[in-house]
Structure 1
Amino acid sequence: MASAAALSSSAFLPRELRADQNGQVRSLDFVALPALARRRRCTARPVLSVEPQKMGESVAPLAAAAMIATEAAAAVEEKAVGAVNYEELDRELEHASPLAIMDRALEMFGNEIAIAFSGAEDVALIEYAKLTGRPFRVFSLDTGRLNPETYQFFDAVEKHYGIHIEYMFPDAVEVQALVRNKGLFSFYEDGHQECCKVRKVRPLRRALKGLKAWITGQRKDQSPGTRANIPVVQVDPSFEGLDGGNGSLIKWNPVANVEGQDIWNFLRTMDVPVNPLHYKGYVSIGCEPCTRPVLPGQHEREGRWWWEDAKAKECGLHKGNVVPSITQGNGASIANSINDTLDIFDSQAIVSLTRPGIENFLKLENRKDPWLVVLYAPWCQFCQAMEPSYIELAEKLSGSGVKVAKFRADGDQKSFAKQELQLGSFPTILFFPKHASRPIKYFSERRDVDSLLAFVSALR
């Protein structure tokens, strides 16, 4: 919970918070907050103390009557709390501002809700919480592998807002077992999910078991493939809260409908601390070994787990918001059947290769012309982002003796592409020289026309 120092401006204090005659901010939340907020904070029955009027007079009838009345009132209040329809509340708040959403969340749950702070632009959530004038709590997951700049940022945020961040750490025995069995960097070989489960998911699960609700910085534009349907408020589909069981935890996403650019405009306007890594090209910030800067034009999540497929860029903290593929009777996903008719890189200057065609490329040691080939998936937002530059490149190379092609490498072709064509993530760009059977992979993340043209010119 924030200290009085976090509520630095009395201009933002509601009626429930006022400075006393000594200049100290007093919280009147247990006296003046709305009934729903008070009900959320009452976890134990009040202790009854009845003063006997006369010596020897029994207080049992009075105590019993008071207890019955208290239990009846608690039952009515509990029924009212449980009657909240969060789907309706989500529709009500769908177009509300982040500040209004934050205020509602803190009002409803008080000390039993906390902000999940990642060390990136989630500082916006803390600023919104401060502006409500209500007390708030902040927690963060310290994986043990964060950048030094992130730890410095944590310290700056605590001092700026006058708060103490509640840190959650991974279980030491589990981390030791993982490192001893698989080494420090196993995620580069078999994926990041196992490491994230030990260092992030399980500590988060422990943190949430002490809460009834939590606040996240998820936004729809962070990952269109996995976060496009984030609601403003929901019953958490993945984790349990204080009371245990399904439906015991409420998840709030106040900036779900806010674009990243607007978040940064807000942070600059409010002049709050930001992670120094942002000034070095980092946008989405996680653990040091799994995060790198992105280049202009790249999506922010491309800097996370860059060696994996774009659609796998989730650590498991928000797996409940990942939309699964809906399968048809023949086992094919509806998403794939739709994408079959929504291809990309459509241009007369680009040749569409089949599986036999690209297998033939691998067999030839001498070709009439060199070829540039992109391995792609139509649903991949990073492939979609480079489509204009790749088409422009193909048109520039038309008639130059270099052929430009595409090969759809998802679905049934993915395993083949990984084994034979060096596919790591989409898109992968290959150059087939005239006098070599094996292609040369383009490793740079720059996918503009000039960079691709320089790659081709150096090898043709």
Structure 2
Amino acid sequence: MASSTQKLVSLLIQETAGLPIDQTLALLAGRFPGAVTFSSSFSFEDQVISHQILENQLPISIFTLDTGRLFPETYSVWSKTNAAYHTRIKAYYPNHESLEEFVQATGPNSFYESTQNRKDCCHIRKVEPLRRALAGNSIWVTGLRAEHSPGRGDLPQFEWDEGNQLIKFHPLLHWSTDEVMAFIKQNNIPYNSLHDKGFISIGCAPCTRAIQPGEDFRAGRWWWEDSSKKECGLHVTEKPGVANSLAKID
């Protein structure tokens, strides 16, 4: 990370310390006009952030990645969110040629057969569309929370994303699950009904299941794989000497 970028990240951390989320988002929208975007998967966390943006009419774009394998409940909350806030959240889709070639070569459910197939599927359906969605932006707002993974405990609220060449902002990083749920209920925000059925981290339907009592937050994602291999490549942190080190997962 260049010294100028490092200074900017440090400055943003200082300037927004103690500010509520809506004020921080407004500050970013003013500082980087037309270049702040939020990626939503319609999770509890993402619905809280969408509410902050849309209720306050902040000039921040919102997009989602439609992999083509989402749950019906996810499409339902997407529609309800559009209706509740009179908006149209933009969707980015996989490159059809890449997807057609992959499915033709490996089959529709090949992600169960090998970790590499699953990673290739994630790359086509999520990583490449994400890069297109983020292109031209300066700030990427995410719904990451430290409580979701031990690897996120040391994350700063602002960080430089080397792979996508922009600054990431995690407004709910230190919120607890109880705080997120309370905000949802208090503001009558549409949410994914799968959360009421034991689904915590919700992704593609074939790759997500409900978790059992006592299981880790991420146990329901790619449950057939070793826990050390559970990543899709959306949240990447470059570390010295390690290219594309996947320190966070989504």
**TM-score bracket, shorter-length normalisation:** 0.7 to 0.9
1:227 paired with 2:152, answer yes
Which residue among 222, 229, 233 is the counterpart of 1:312? 229
Change (3 A) 1:283 1:250: same
Q: Output the amino acid matched with 2:132.
A: R
In our comparison, the structure showing a higher alpha carbon Rg is: 1
1:76-95 matches, within 5 Å, as 85-95=8-18
**What is the TM-score of this pair, normalised by structure 2?**
0.86
Q: Output the amino acid matched with 2:108.
A: L
Change (3 A) 1:222 1:83: closer
Contact 1:90 1:234 in 2 (8 A): no
2:37 match: 114
SS at match of 1:111: coil
Query: What per-residue deviation string (whole Å, max 9, x for no partner) do you get for residues 318-343 of structure 1?
Result: 0228x7999xxxxxxxxxxxxxxxxx
1:152 paired with 2:152, answer no
Q: Output the amino acid matched with 1:232.
A: Q
1:169 paired with 2:93, answer yes
Q: What displacement does 1:134 show? A: 2.4
Contact 2:161 2:236 in 1 (8 A): no
Unaligned runs of 5+ in 1: 1-80, 241-248, 327-460
Q: What displacement does 1:109 show? A: 2.0
Q: Output the amino acid matched with 1:135.
A: P
Contact 1:219 1:230 in 2 (8 A): no
Which residue among 80, 86, 102 is the counterpart of 2:25? 102
Q: What displacement does 1:214 show? A: 1.6
CA-based RMSD of the aligned residues comes to 2.4
SS at match of 2:140: strand
Query: What per-residue deviation string (whole Å, max 9, x for no partner) do you get for residues 187-217 of structure 1?
Result: 2121221110110000001111132222110
Would you say how many aligned residue pairs link Structure 1 and Structure 2?
236
Counterparts of 1:289 and 1:325, CA distance in 2:
35
Query: What per-residue deviation string (whole Å, max 9, x for no partner) do you get for residues 100-148 of structure 1?
Result: 3323222222322111011212111111113444233210000000011
Counterparts of 2:129 and 2:205, CA distance in 1:
18
**What is the TM-score of this pair, normalised by structure 1?**
0.48
Counterparts of 2:121 and 2:83, CA distance in 1:
31
1:230-241 matches, within 5 Å, as 230-240=155-165
Which residue among 192, 197, 203 is the counterpart of 1:286? 203
Counterparts of 1:84 and 1:250, CA distance in 2:
12
Q: Output the amino acid matched with 1:124.
A: V
Contact 1:112 1:213 in 2 (8 A): yes
Which residue among 116, 127, 130 is the counterpart of 1:204? 130
1:416-427 matches, within 5 Å, as none
Contact 2:55 2:85 in 1 (8 A): no
Query: What per-residue deviation string (whole Å, max 9, x for no partner) do you get for residues 158-189 of structure 1?
Result: 11111111100000111111111111122212
Counterparts of 1:112 and 1:82, CA distance in 2:
16
Q: What displacement does 1:312 show? A: 2.9
Which residue among 172, 180, 185 is the counterpart of 1:268? 185
Q: Output the amino acid matched with 1:276.
A: S
Q: Percent identity between the aligned chains?
A: 35
Q: What displacement does 1:95 show? A: 4.6
2:170 match: 253
Counterparts of 2:154 and 2:231, CA distance in 1:
15
Change (3 A) 1:275 1:178: same
SS at match of 2:237: helix
Larger RCO: 1 or 2 (CA < 8 Å, sep 6+): 2
Change (3 A) 1:82 1:313: closer
SS at match of 1:126: helix
